[in-house]
Amino acid sequence: MQAYKLVVVSNRLPVSVVKQSGKLEYQASPGGLATAMSSLEQTDKIWVGWPGIASDNLTDAEKSEIQTELAKQNCFPVFLTEKQVELFYEGYSNDTLWPLFHYFQSLSRHHDEYWEAYEQVNRLFANAAASVVAEGGSVWIHDYHLMMMPSMLRSIMPHATIGFFLHIPFPSFEIYRLLPQRKDILRGLLGADLIGFHVYDYARHFLSSCLRLLGLSSHQGLLEYEGRTVKTDAYPIGIDYEKFRRTLDETSTKKAISALGETYKGMKLILSVDRLDYSKGIPERLEAFRILLHDYPQWRGKVRLLMVAVPSRTEVKTYQTLRETIEQTVSRINGEYGTVDWAPISYQFQNRPFEEVVALYASADVALVTPIRDGMNLVAKEYVASKQGRPGVLILSEMTGAIDELPEALSINPSNTRSVAEAMHTALTMSKREQIRRLGVMQRRLKSYTVQAWGADFMNDLNAAGGEREQQHKKRMSEESRQELLRAYDAADERLIILDYDGTLKDFVSSPRPFMAKPSIKLRRMIKRLAENKKNHVAIVSGRPKKALERWFRGIDLTLVAEHGAWTRYDGKWTNVDVEFASLKRQLRPVMQKYVSRTAGSEIEEKDYSIVWHYRNVAPELAYVRAGEMKRELIDVIDREDIGVFSGDKVIEIKPNEINKGYAASELEAVYPAGFVLAAGDDYTDEDMFRELPPESYTIKVGPGDTKARFQLSSVDDMMALLEDLSHL
């Protein structure tokens, strides 16, 4: 099978397959996403998705025919059964995620079979994408139907460049936390290198959920996850601006505009175009129009609301009920305010051809776009693009992503129906000059950032993110590098091994109390084997107090360096640096105790030459705020250049600047000269050590993040496995 440099993945393909009279037919699926993908410069690409027909209704020969035919159009089908479509698409995607992510949590349904189908189908899509992407290629996954797919694909292809874009809102943490599978979804998304959202608020909500649920803090939209950097950013999707301009010049569109002019002659036309969905705020919109007719009787007989509701999920009970409510409301308003020759509302429950929709946009005096919640809403942008030289007013919900780009619209709260009615009156009375001025500003903005520009921007950032990940990956210890290290160790007559403790030899524990972090029997035995080798000199260089290290490694012949270098034990005797710190500790203790009292789960750890605030057990968002506050206050209190305030892994530590692991490593190298030097650590304190040691040393950072070390290992387990191998040579 041919492999492609770019694989685009979405729930539906841009081509739909239907069976008519026993014969397969192929129909183009219109949409902005198809336009965006077709405009990408990358020509070596394929689109993976469901072809729109259940596999139950297909023979093996028909499946083969579909695959062959779609391949001609650079598409690759993922075949789903009727049951899978029901549970994955209609179920988890649209009965669970869609309402919850649009803040209709009371409509969100949670069933185990939904989730099982969602995972199953996401895995089918991941396998399909993996089968067609080239080595070093990129995969761009779209929308809420496939939020588990990035991590599933990452497990199959660890080095692939993976992007994900969410086309609906990402809700605030207080809403998102209601989802039973909330952590699974986050981990699924974090398989990507780049995660895109329409607006910054959605990205912020996602990052907040990662912090609160997974304890992952971010910096400038970047997250460190499983040894990778994941970037998040906002990419407001545009429209194919030129397509609307071209369509206005077509004969069929001009005829439709002329016909609409005759039909609504002498009338002000308010247009509403939406997919029939509870998130669109259609009942509230109708109520606002009723208030307009009630409060501003001068518009009776002079204005008409044309409401086009595009059929959506007609088989779902919630949508059937919504349709009934809308139709009853339309009938009630028409019955209350209509006359023999005037019906206030014209309601159409149908799809309209593209040319007719553009003609409606061009003819409408007012566009009423008032969703309760919407990821972006392209109707607002399409209306503005279609008003070439014609006046018109856009009334736009502040709950849409589009409001950030279209501030010249009349912004409304869709739940405040009276204010929507007032906005309609303002729009109907606005001068043509003001209408054209506002439209002109918005048109220039939409023209400069089209759907094509959106697609190109995302791909540029995805390629950059993939490149940065590859750069990071170059420091990952390969099997070849590992074997080279083992050979160099075996060949050396004198070896120096310098090891950090927490995060390097043992995973972090939730408490700073020493007994919680004591080494396992297995770890002690391994360190003892290394230390008993006559060619080796082993040193444990840690931030832990000397009493803890002495107790943990009693009976093993090695050098201990405590408190990052403040205390050193050679040949069983401790020596310390000549720095006075006790008086400063007394000054700092009340400040830090104040934060402990206000921050449940935090603790103070006092050492001879440092004082540490631990916040591993603090709620992540509170910890982030408190840590920032404390650090600023401590810097103000200390006001000395020789004392530093350092941020570590869930700690803030205050200690003299001259005490660091770099000095300790230099001293060890001088006391125990060796042909083979290995140093391993996991955090900022170990970077001093990596910098001070000769460049040919085997310096290893354990865990993610930038480092001066030559190599990186993903976890404590990986480091332990390497030391285990060394201990048996």
Q: What is the pLDDT of residues 272-282, one digit of tens each?
A: 999 999 999 99
DSSP H/E element including 362: helix 354-363
Residue 206 has pLDDT above 70, yes or no: yes
Q: What is the pLDDT of residue 510?
A: 63
What are the strands, taking DSSP E only, across 362-444? 366-369, 393-397, 410-412
Q: What is the pLDDT of residue 472?
A: 60
Residue 298 has pLDDT above 90, yes or no: yes
Mean pLDDT of all residues in the chain? 91
Lowest mean pLDDT among 52-66, 527-541, 572-586: 572-586
Q: What is the CATH number of domain 241-448?
A: 3.40.50.2000
Residue 43 has pLDDT above 60, yes or no: yes
Residue 514 has pLDDT above 60, yes or no: no
How does residue 32 score in pLDDT terms, banded at 50, 70 and 90? low
Q: What is the pLDDT of residue 34?
A: 74
Residue 163 to residues 126, 143, 460, Cα–Cα distance (Å)? 13, 11, 11
Residue 8 has pLDDT above 70, yes or no: yes
Q: What is the pLDDT of residue 441?
A: 96
* CB within 8 Å of 88: residues ≥ 6 apart: 80, 114, 117, 118, 120, 121, 145
Q: What is the pLDDT of residue 35?
A: 67
Q: What is the pLDDT of residue 655?
A: 87
CATH class of 582-656: alpha beta
How does residue 610 score in pLDDT terms, banded at 50, 70 and 90? confident
pTM: 0.78
How does residue 578 score in pLDDT terms, banded at 50, 70 and 90? confident
How does residue 511 score in pLDDT terms, banded at 50, 70 and 90? low
SS3 content of the chain, % helix, strand, coil (to 5): 50, 20, 30
Residue 186 has pLDDT above 80, yes or no: yes
**What letter represents residue 260's amino acid?**
L
Q: State how far the Cα of 466 lies from the Cα of 194, in Å rounded to an integer.
A: 8
Q: What is the pLDDT of residue 704?
A: 77
CATH 3.40.50.2000 intervals, the chain: 4-234, 241-448
Q: State how far the Cα of 557 lies from the Cα of 578, in Å rounded to an integer.
A: 26
User: 297: which 2 tokens?
Assistant: 């009787």
Q: What is the pLDDT of residue 30?
A: 62
User: 714: which 2 tokens?
Assistant: 């993903």
Kindly state the percentage of the chain with pLDDT values over 90: 72
Q: Interhelix angle for 354-363 vs 241-248, to 10°?
A: 80
The 10s digit of each residue's pLDDT in 150-162 is 999 999 998 899 9
Q: What is the pLDDT of residue 196?
A: 97
Q: Compute the Cα dihedral for 539, 540, 542, 544 and give only its sign.
A: negative
* Cα angle value 490/496/500 (rounded, 5°): 115
Q: What is the pLDDT of residue 468?
A: 66
CB 652 within 8 A of CB 646: yes
Which residue in the block uniquely carries the two structure tokens 């050098």? Answer: 559
Between 29 and 375, whose confidence is greater? 375
Which residue in the block uniquely carries the two structure tokens 């360096």? Answer: 561
Lowest mean pLDDT among 227-231, 508-512, 677-681: 508-512
Q: Which of 228-232, 349-353, 698-702 has the highest mean pLDDT?
A: 698-702
* Cα angle value 521/526/527 (rounded, 5°): 100
Q: Interhelix angle for 684-692 vs 661-671, to 10°?
A: 40
CATH 3.30.70.1020 intervals, the chain: 582-656
Q: What is the pLDDT of residue 515?
A: 59
Lowest mean pLDDT among 246-250, 530-534, 639-643: 639-643
Lowest mean pLDDT among 179-188, 456-465, 643-652, 673-682: 643-652
Residue 533 has pLDDT above 90, yes or no: yes
Reported as half-sphere exposure (CB side, CA atoms, 13 A), residue 232 has a value of: 28
Closest CA to 275 of 184, 183, 403, 374: 374
Kindly state the percentage of the chain with pLDDT values over 70: 97
Burial category of 135 from C-beta neighbours within 10 Å (exposed 0-12, middle 13-18, buried 19 and up):
exposed
Burial category of 712 from C-beta neighbours within 10 Å (exposed 0-12, middle 13-18, buried 19 and up):
buried
Between 318 and 374, whose confidence is greater? 374
Residue 496 has pLDDT above 70, yes or no: yes
Q: What is the pLDDT of residue 605?
A: 87
Q: What is the pLDDT of residue 318?
A: 84
CATH 3.40.50.1000 intervals, the chain: 479-577+659-727
Question: What is the average per-residue pLDDT within 39-57?
Answer: 87
Q: Active-site residue numbers?
A: 500
CATH class of 479-577+659-727: alpha beta
Which residue in the block uniquely carries the two structure tokens 């649209």? Answer: 94
Closest CA to 136 of 160, 156, 169: 160
- Correct CATH for 4-234 of 1.10.1420.10, 3.40.50.2030, 3.40.640.10, 3.40.50.2000: 3.40.50.2000
Residue 476 has pLDDT above 90, yes or no: no
How does residue 644 score in pLDDT terms, banded at 50, 70 and 90? confident
